[in-house]
Copies of this chain bind each other. A is one copy, B any other.
Amino acid sequence: MREAYHNELGQLADNLASMCSMVAEAMELATRALLEANLSLAEQVISDDEKIDDARSACEEQAYALLALQAPVATDLRTVLAAIHAAESLERMGDLALHVAKAARRRHPAPVLPETVQPYFSEMGRIAVQLARRAEEVIRSRDVAAARAIEDADDEMDDLHRHLFTILMNKEWEHGVASAVDVTLLGRFYERYADHAVSVAKRVVFVVTGRMPGTVNDEDL
């Protein structure tokens, strides 16, 4: 049983890594769609979301099979459950990328973002994608040290997000309320994406090491 268990767990980890890669790609394209008002990229993210949902179902089915056939206990059990939670967060990251793409499509051909805030979103997009890629790396390399870098990147995201709000709240915001509403929601999508990436990385560290690093912090707006 131990060998079968470890083989199956290895496959589950591979599938989680692929999901990381899919949601990184989705956020990369969605951010380009947003910044370049590129409708076809937006459409691609929107139609690809189903694949992410399917990958999540596949991960869950694999985890269920593992639980049903191997009936793991103690740390092994927690490991499988951590994988189920990670798959859920990854699907949610895909949904958030989808929301970004839909915002780009909704305003097309007009750009969603006033020029003043474009550099923020370019940077938040870069960090979001990096977070998902790092989570993938942590899963594939089982290099737990790499997981630590993830929290630093999330701090950068929180700083950017806070700064974005000070710009919005500034009396000199001259782009109107509708645009402020878009920027508010989009900012939140990126921030939540990053929170989920951190949570995935922590669960992955747990899957690899059997220990959960610190608390999984939720966003605190």
Could you tell me which A residues sit within 8 Å of B by CB distance?
64, 67-68, 71, 73-74, 77-78, 81, 84-85, 88, 95, 99, 102, 165, 168-169, 173, 177-178, 180-181, 184-185, 188, 218, 220-221
Given contacts A95-B218, A169-B177, A177-B180, 10 further A-B contacts (CB under 8 A): A64-B78, A64-B81, A67-B81, A81-B84, A88-B88, A99-B221, A102-B221, A168-B177, A181-B184, A184-B185
CB distance from A137 to the nearest CB of B (A): 26
Residues of B within 8 A of A68 (CB): 73-74, 77
Which B residue's beta carbon lies closest to that of A91? B218
Min distance, Cβ A192 to any Cβ of chain B, angstroms:
10
How far apart are A76's CB and chain B's nearest CB, in angstroms?
10
Instruction: Give the number of times this chain occurs in the complex, counting copies.
Output: 2
Contacts of A185 in B (CB 8 A): 184, 188, 221
Residues on B with C-beta less than 8 A from A71 are 71
Determine the distance from Cα of A71 to Cα of B68 in the docked complex, in whole angstroms: 7
Nearest 8 Cβ contacts at the A-B interface: A71-B71, A68-B73, A177-B180, A184-B184, A169-B178, A181-B184, A173-B177, A180-B180
Q: Which residue in chain B gives the minimum CB-CB distance to A178?
A: B169
Interface centre among A67, A99, A177 (most CB of B within 10 A): A177
Closest residue of B by beta carbon distance from A215: B53
Residues of B within 8 A of A180 (CB): 177, 180-181, 184
How far does the alpha carbon of A99 sit from the alpha carbon of B191 in the complex, in Å?
A: 15
Inside 8 A of A102's CB, which chain B residues have their CB? 220-221
A168→B68 CA distance, assembly (Å) = 50
Q: Can you list 30 A-B pairs, Cβ within 8 angstroms, ordered by A?
A: A64-B77, A64-B78, A64-B81, A67-B67, A67-B77, A68-B74, A71-B71, A81-B84, A84-B84, A88-B88, A95-B218, A99-B221, A102-B220, A102-B221, A165-B181, A168-B177, A168-B181, A169-B177, A169-B178, A169-B181, A173-B177, A177-B177, A177-B180, A180-B180, A180-B184, A181-B181, A181-B184, A184-B185, A185-B188, A188-B188
